[in-house]
Amino acid sequence: MRFPVATLVAEEGLTGLLLRGLRRREIYRRFALAAGVDARRPRASPLPIECERLGPERIDEYLAFRSDRSRGVIRRRFDAGELCFVGRCDGRLVAATWACPGRARLEFLACEILLPDGFYYSHDTYVMPELRGRHVADAVGEFRRSFMHDAGYDRTVGLFEPENRVATQRGERRRNRVIGRVDCLRLGRWRRLHLRIDSGEVEKRWYRSRRRHRDQGLVTFSLPKNSPRLRGPSDTRTSASVPESLPWSR
């Protein structure tokens, strides 16, 4: 979708317009890092949504649902231990979401972020356009929450672009906390990733990415385990930091 330049400047400012151009050329990307308790979703969908975990043996069905995803990317997700949860309506896939326990695999940045105990990375939630606004994502998200909670993961971490108003509003409704940001600058095959937490913890590094979306090229970063920004108000655990659900980017 194309927007007049004047409209973009009015909505995003000159800085936002510049960032949009850099993103399009994959030179610079900026994300908000959000975290929170994976709370129950009280809203029920009026549709008869049946939820389940989708295994790697059903990749073809997933790709028929998400034709914008490549087989290689989805195969690597399963090989890395990521979990896919889907919702069906009358037997047809209508929604899906992903969870990665213990780490956030960011293939589009050629890196991964290790998470504290009890955290998982939630991302790539998608609902068929004609069913949006009918709480289908809440139904699948509640199924994911229950599954992950039983497995010992009750907190989520995710990324979203600050310019994404839908993701920002979704996070506010779920009382997620923005705890930091991730900036990535790309110069050829070199990248500089800057991971910062509001309480002051910072990690930044230049690294050379291998072929795009190749798992062996992921460089590892870590979130600080004892950051006060990661701890929820009722968290009494000492071995892990933890926080609420969140909007995701990809």
Query: Could you give the strand order of the β-sheet that contains 219-222, starting from the edge strand earlier in sequence?
Result: 103-106, 111-114, 219-222
- Residue 236 included in any domain: no
- Residue 185 included in any domain: yes
- Residue 63 included in any domain: yes
Q: Output the pTM of the full model.
A: 0.79
Q: Which residue bears the tokens 């209508």? A: 94
- Residue 30 included in any domain: yes
DSSP strand pairing (83-89 vs 49-54): antiparallel
Report the distance separating Cα 158 and Cα 38, nearest Å. Answer: 12
Confidence bin at 45 (pLDDT 50/70/90): confident
Report the distance separating Cα 236 and Cα 154, nearest Å. Answer: 13
Q: What value does the mean pLDDT of the chain take? A: 80
Instruction: Return the CATH number at 128.
Output: 3.40.630.30
- Residue 85 included in any domain: yes
Locate 126 and state its tokens: 């998608």
Range of the domain at 203: 19-222
Confidence bin at 226 (pLDDT 50/70/90): low
- Residue 199 included in any domain: yes
Number of domains in the chain: 1
| Exposure letters 199-225 (e unless 16+ CB within 10 A, then b) | eebeeeeebebeeeeebebbbebebbe
* pLDDT, tens digit, 9 for 90 and up, residues 109-139: 888 999 989 999 999 999 999 999 899 999 9
